[in-house]
Amino acid sequence: MTTMLIQHQVKDYAAWRKVFDSEQELRTASGELSHQIFRDASNPNNLTVLNSFDSLENAQEFAKSPELKAAMERAGVEGRPTVHYLNNA
For residue range 47-75, list pLDDT tens digits in order: 999 999 999 999 999 999 999 999 999 99
User: What residues form DSSP beta bridges with 47?
Assistant: 8, 39
**CATH code of the domain covering residue 50:** 3.30.70.100
For the whole model, what pTM was predicted? 0.92
8 A C-beta contact, residue 6 and residue 48: yes
* pLDDT for position 88: 83
For residue range 5-21, list pLDDT tens digits in order: 999 999 999 999 999 99
State the residue range of the domain holding 14: 2-87
Helix (H) or strand (E) run with residue 53 in it: strand 46-53
State how many domains the chain has. 1
